[in-house]
A and B are shown apart, each in its own frame.
Chain A
Amino acid sequence: MQVNMTVNGAEVNEEIEPRHLLVHFIRDQLGLTGTHWGCDTSNCGTCVVLIDGEPVKSCTQLAAMAGGHEVTTVEGLEVDGVLDPIQEGFMQCHGLQCGFCTPGMMLTARALLNSNPNPTEEVIREAISGQICRCTGYSTIVRSIQWAADHETNVSLRSAS
């Protein structure tokens, strides 16, 4: 079947099997390997992408379901060579170690800051609670998101998506 969607601002028209999961479509067909796969049960959240600005576990959606929607992956966070403050925050605050969960964490954080520019620690922890990080113990991820909130710029693709 044919699927049409916008991925990181670009129109995508692709032929897919109806059963293809969005995560495999993004990784294998579009070659955007920044989106990772980590479990089969929607528990780990390493596959999170934004669909119309909302964080979604792409291992739990069929690619076909994203048809007609705007998808943002980690590759879409940097715009014209300018990092999203979320990306900068994760570097500044050691919010990543192996980097495997990081794309999903950053996209959830982006969605959070778009809807709540000044989240409390409690709100941040709640927002990322559907995702697992095995390396950081989460404190530095929380700090990274707080750093981004303190350094938010207007280059928001961000609020656009």
Chain B
Amino acid sequence: MTTTATTTATDTATDTATTTATDTATASEEETTPDERPIGFGRLLRKEDPRLIRGMGQFVDDVSLPGMLHLAILRSPVAHARIVSIDKSAAEAHPNVVAVITGEDLAAQGLAWMPTLSNDVQAVLATDKVRFQHQEVAFVVATDRYSARDALELIEVDYDWIDPVVDVRSALDQDSPVIRDDLENKADNHIFDWETGDEAATNEVFERADVVVSEEIVYPRVHPAPMGTCGCGANVERVSGQVTLWCTTQAPHAHRTVYALVAGLPEHKIRVIAPDIGGGFGNKVPIYPGYVCAIVASLVIGKPVKWMEDRTENLVSTGFARDYVMKADIAATKDGRILAIRTNVLADHGAFNGVAAPVKYPAGFFGVFTGSYDLEAAHAKMTAVYTNKAPGGVAYACSFRITEAVYLVERIVDCLAYELDMDPAELRLKNFIKPEQFPYETKTGWVYDSGNYEPAMRKAMDMAGYAELRREQVERRARGELMGIGVAFFTEAVGAGPRKDMDILGLGMADGCELRVHPTGKAIVRLSVKTQGQGHETTFAQIVSEEIGIPPEDIEVIHGDTDNTPFGLGTYGSRSTPVSGAAAAMVTRKVRDKAQIIASGMLEVSVADLEWTKGAFSVKGDPSKSVTIQEIAMKAHGAGDLPDGIEGGLEAQICYNPENLTYPFGAYICVVDVDPGTAVVKVRRFIAVDDCGTQINPMIVEGQVHGGLADGVGMALMEIIGFDEDGNCTSSSLMDYLIPTALETPDWETGHTVTPSPHHPIGAKGIGESATVGSPPAIVNAIVDALKPFGVRHADMPLTPSRVWETMQGNHTPPI
């Protein structure tokens, strides 16, 4: 680490302390007048909203082309079986059916298999056998969506049953059926082993520790379940070979390149358009068989083809999240100094390894399981296995497995607090990494860029009235009531990532950005990332606005169209602001630098004699001599000479390669009441103090936090993708996969501190997933706290009334 970097970080820490001390208002106290329109950062109503509130958004299913056909997919009714035969003749005879395609048909074109984002392969349509219930087996193309689905029922498939592997714990048993017999010499269900940290050093610390607490902590399989399901419209023009794909993708550029590599399509003939997207949460990162089927269908038939999942298809076949069984140990002194954490994880990756994570990180960023604490040692081991379940794993706002890591550390720290009979907030405060330790390298090698944890924790405790809550809890317990207070503190690692370390399928995780300032001073900025509701059209206009002084309403943001935006890896893992946001700031600075040279010509002074105030250059010491950015833009495109060596026009393009990840953090406190008679959990209050560095638009930041908190309520209380012993998915509709409504969620209480990232051009960190990462442990910790009178130290999600009741009776069992 260079001296400069250290100095910067120290400065930041100092700034932070000041900022935090003064900038501690809660969101509700920061209401600005609705008509206020900042130039640059601040609360600004969204540019996306006028079309969306009129029902004039364009989502993929809204795309309709003349002659468009409809595609529906036949899926396996069983989890594991050999395909004996498929009879499609009756379906082909349906009057409205144009084509029926099976895996065998695709195999003839070499398209029956496709690579996953983890360099495994996945069947587009099953050829040899099916490996999870609802796997894709065949598809029908018909003139309308009803007929396509009618025809699915006319396809007859004969299956030869094979025992499925459902229990992850038995996947590596010697007598376990081999799921992936398509892979050469594959004799078991093992995918990979992975480890991080220093095992010997960690074990040494455990041996001398006063206190060791161990727990098996399960993070069950859950699903992002965005309101808009996945789908696409494909149009292959027969003569030109041009492929246009309207697709629910969070990563249009990465998808385009993968189609080029997989299907051998020339990349310049592929255009991926991601229009409005009905939520993503990581569910819309992978390439799904349906997309490939639609492209193939359009190619074969010569007409546009649309495929849209129904809700069941979305829940049972697309990217799930989590599914980790984690054995955790924590070592501490008897007065509560945390020394080390170690864990051994069994990861269920389903039938194909479809994890969307950087290549060198098969376990994502799980390595940050050391959390927000200054440890002496840490070690993690992981084994990933195949089971007869849908593929996926990295989704649902997980920041590449940080959800699992944060849940692990925040749960095991609470187990330690239980054993030491210490207050969980005090235990955390005692062990935080100190502000002067940043940049801080963890025992697993992650370099946290900046942080100031104690003020965030103190602020959350103040907002909650923590001491008063504890007093209330004592009184209620005396009356036999079950009130719980849960604390969690998280550090995230977002903004993947430096291209020297991070790529997906060989594509470096950098992002491009292009800015053009038109002659009249209006601008257009083109992004490689793609909003699914995060408000990029607003916040990216604000970033450009902050840097160059053009009002946000005069800046058009173009995204989600590979023909019209620069290359980049897309929106997931909270990377848009850390990477693409930095690109937007840097490209604007590049344009501003050119504007400064032009201004020097206009004002007839040297470049060094100019100073910038937002929107104009003026002569130092003589502010009356100035030119606005709009005047400079006209000059750049207008008549007359420009300074020597300066081309006309006012535009630039860059590709930003982040120096490091950004490390947002937050302190969460949850208050629950558990009904002693019914075991129903009511989340009474939730206090969230987030620090994502510089905030571009506080309204949007608050919205991102709110959404993640609701996710946390879902995962903690009700969401699970379950399976029966035959591998049937028992959560295949929203009747069974429960998602919180307005009745299960409280009115969120949010606040923030501001600790800028020292390496990000505007000091911003990601915020999109913080609350999804941080809230589940806060809620579970609160419920476990409520159940303390029953001697409960741990309980696994989802804490449904029946599972809480069993826990109260001493019969808690893991959900998987």
Give residues in A with beta carbon < 8 Å to B.
17, 19-20, 24, 27-28, 32-41, 43-44, 46, 73-75, 77-78, 83, 87, 90-92, 94, 96-103, 106, 121, 124-126, 128-142
Chain B residues positioned under 8 Å from A46 (CB to CB): 227
Are the CB atoms of B62 and A44 closer together than 8 Å?
A: no
- A sample of 8 inter-chain contacts (CB < 8 A) reads A39-B733, A73-B55, A90-B53, A96-B52, A133-B227, A138-B706, A138-B742, A141-B742
Is residue B167 contacting chain A, with contact meaning CB distance below 8 A?
no
Task: List the 3 closest pairs (A to B, CB-CB), nearest first.
Answer: A34-B55, A98-B533, A99-B52
Distance (whole angstroms) from the CB of B241 to the closest CB of chain A: 30
Chain A residues positioned under 8 Å from B534 (CB to CB): 97
Is residue B739 contacting chain A, with contact meaning CB distance below 8 A?
yes
Is residue B279 contacting chain A, with contact meaning CB distance below 8 A?
yes
A132 to B146, CA, bound (A): 26
Also in contact, A99 and B748, with CB within 8 A (given A39-B734, A41-B734, A46-B227): no
Chain A residues positioned under 8 Å from B56 (CB to CB): 34, 75
Chain A residues positioned under 8 Å from B733 (CB to CB): 39-41, 43
Count the A-B residue pairs with Cβ separation under 8 angstroms: how many?
174
Chain A residues positioned under 8 Å from B227 (CB to CB): 36, 38, 44, 46, 98, 100-101, 132-135
Are the CB atoms of A75 and B703 closer together than 8 Å?
A: no
Q: Which residue of chain A has the shortest Cβ distance to B704 in the bound complex?
A: A97
Are the CB atoms of A74 and B734 closer together than 8 Å?
A: no
Distance (whole angstroms) from the CB of A103 to the closest CB of chain B: 5
Chain A residues positioned under 8 Å from B709 (CB to CB): 137
Are the CB atoms of A137 and B745 closer together than 8 Å?
A: yes
Chain B residues positioned under 8 Å from A74 (CB to CB): 53-55
Of the candidate stretches B9-17, B41-49, B180-188, the one touching chain A is B41-49
Q: Mark B17-52, 1 if CB is under 8 A from A, else 0.
A: 000000000000000001000000000011011101
Are the CB atoms of A41 and B735 closer together than 8 Å?
A: yes
Q: Mark B276-298, 1 if CB is under 8 A from A, else 0.
A: 11111100000000000000000
Chain A residues positioned under 8 Å from B230 (CB to CB): none
Is residue B311 contacting chain A, with contact meaning CB distance below 8 A?
yes
Q: Which of B34, B224, B735, B747 contacts A121 (CB 8 A)?
A: B747
Also in contact, A38 and B229, with CB within 8 A (given A43-B735, A98-B533, A132-B739): yes
Are the CB atoms of B710 and A138 closer together than 8 Å?
A: yes
Give residues in B with beta carbon < 8 Å to A.
34, 45-46, 48-50, 52-59, 61-62, 64, 145-146, 224-229, 276-281, 310-312, 532-535, 699-700, 702-703, 706-711, 733-735, 739, 741-743, 745, 747-748
Q: Which of B276, B310, B703 contacts A136 (CB 8 A)?
A: B703
Distance (whole angstroms) from the CB of B715 to the closest CB of chain A: 13
Also in contact, A125 and B743, with CB within 8 A (given A90-B53, A99-B52): yes
Are the CB atoms of B706 and A140 closer together than 8 Å?
A: yes
Also in contact, A98 and B62, with CB within 8 A (given A39-B733, A132-B739): no
Are the CB atoms of A132 and B49 closer together than 8 Å?
A: no
Q: Which residue of chain B has the shortest Cβ distance to A132 in the bound complex?
A: B739
Q: Which of A34, A39, A101, A133 contacts B54 (CB 8 A)?
A: A34
Are the CB atoms of B228 and A100 closer together than 8 Å?
A: yes
Are the CB atoms of B57 and A134 closer together than 8 Å?
A: no
A92 to B45, CA, bound (A): 7
Distance (whole angstroms) from the CB of A78 to the closest CB of chain B: 6
Chain A residues positioned under 8 Å from B699 (CB to CB): 94
Distance (whole angstroms) from the CB of B335 to the closest CB of chain A: 39
A121 to B748, CA, bound (A): 13
Are the CB atoms of A43 and B745 closer together than 8 Å?
A: no
Chain A residues positioned under 8 Å from B57 (CB to CB): 34, 99
Are the CB atoms of B707 and A126 closer together than 8 Å?
A: no
Chain A residues positioned under 8 Å from B739 (CB to CB): 132, 134
Distance (whole angstroms) from the CB of A141 to the closest CB of chain B: 7
Q: Which of A100, A128, A136 contacts B278 (CB 8 A)?
A: A100
Q: Which of A35, A91, A128, A129 contacts B55 (CB 8 A)?
A: A35
Chain B residues positioned under 8 Å from A140 (CB to CB): 702-703, 706
Distance (whole angstroms) from the CB of A109 to the closest CB of chain B: 11
Distance (whole angstroms) from the CB of A150 to the closest CB of chain B: 12
Distance (whole angstroms) from the CB of B306 to the closest CB of chain A: 11
A43-B734, A98-B228, A134-B224 provided; 18 other pairs, C-beta below 8 A? A19-B146, A27-B62, A33-B59, A36-B59, A38-B228, A91-B45, A94-B703, A97-B703, A99-B48, A100-B228, A102-B52, A125-B743, A134-B227, A134-B739, A137-B707, A138-B745, A140-B703, A141-B742
Chain A residues positioned under 8 Å from B710 (CB to CB): 133-134, 136-138
Are the CB atoms of B46 and A129 closer together than 8 Å?
A: no
Distance (whole angstroms) from the CB of A134 to the closest CB of chain B: 5
Are the CB atoms of A40 and B310 closer together than 8 Å?
A: yes
Are the CB atoms of B734 and A99 closer together than 8 Å?
A: no
Q: Which residue of chain B has the shortest Cβ distance to A143 in the bound complex?
A: B747
Chain B residues positioned under 8 Å from A99 (CB to CB): 48-49, 52-53, 57, 276, 278, 533
